[in-house]
Structure 1
Amino acid sequence: MNEEPSPSDIFRKRLREAREMRDYKQEQLADLAKMPATTIAHFEAGTRKPSFDSLRKLAIALEITTDYLLGRVDDPELAEAGDPLFRDVAKLSGSDREIAKDFLKMLAKRSSKKDKAS
């Protein structure tokens, strides 16, 4: 019988993945989320569960959605909607979105050329 992981197991795994995806140490995430580093360690170990307030602080600090942390979205790429850049783009009108899209493509291409030159 294939047993699904509990929501607590999903959260602790996703929190660690999101932290590592941002290349933060537990202490760095704790500073950004304005909570003790031991709290982050307890969350990742599964010995403590977050309050709604803590969950919100973590999502903001990681610039990711609570849906990803809670396992409602499986693909971290979909969780990028929590990133302020994506939230701001979502507020643009159609023509402004096209301008922003072209500008972001240009920046990505420029960044790619810099990486290849290094």
Structure 2
Amino acid sequence: MSVFSERLTTARKAMGWTRKRAVSEFSLPYQTYSNYEQGKREPDINTMKRLAYKLNTTTDYLTGAVDNPAPASVTSSDLEDMLNDAHSYDGKPMDEHDRALIKQYLEALFSQRDAK
């Protein structure tokens, strides 16, 4: 078995899913998914991203680049750094006002989630 196949199987089991459930969640043919878990095939990058997202992990974990299966969390200072680095969106320039609005929106969104 490859690192990918072992980690895919481990992540699926951590979700409490059978292979049949995983196939349904991923909208993949059973044989294709089975080949992934048996190490006979590996998915393309778009499928890999979909698998990681649905399994609440990262492509880096599935491929063996990191050992922590949990997705990295973004802190307030990470958000600040990302917004400072954002100079445009969809080809349109962003100014300080735009970045402040985005930060405000994200802070409100996550504080509402935490309240639930």
Normalising by structure 2, what TM-score? 0.60
The list of structure 1 runs, each at least 4 consecutive aligned residues, that deviate by more than 4 angstroms after superposition, is 99-104
Structure 1: which 5+ residue stretches go unaligned? 1-7, 105-118
- Report % sequence identity: 32
1:10-89 residue pairs with structure 2 within 5 A? 10-76=3-69, 79-81=70-72
For residues 15-52 of structure 1, give each alpha carbon's deviation from its aligned partner in whole angstroms, at most 9, with x where no partner exists.
Answer: 00100010111111111111112211101111111111
Q: Give 1:96 shift.
A: 7.5
1:92-111 residue pairs with structure 2 within 5 A? 92-93=106-107, 99=111, 103=115
| Larger Rg over CA atoms | 2
User: CA 1:102 to 1:27, structure 2 compared with 1: closer, same or farther past 3 Å?
Assistant: closer
d(CA) in 1 for partners of 2:113, 2:64: 29
Q: Give 1:103 shift.
A: 4.3
- Point out the structure with the larger helix share: 1
Q: Give 1:60 shift.
A: 2.2
User: CA 1:102 to 1:39, structure 2 compared with 1: closer, same or farther past 3 Å?
Assistant: closer
Normalising by structure 1, what TM-score? 0.59
For residues 80-109 of structure 1, give each alpha carbon's deviation from its aligned partner in whole angstroms, at most 9, with x where no partner exists.
Answer: 34xxxx67x97743x876x569748xxxxx
| SS class of match (2:23) | helix
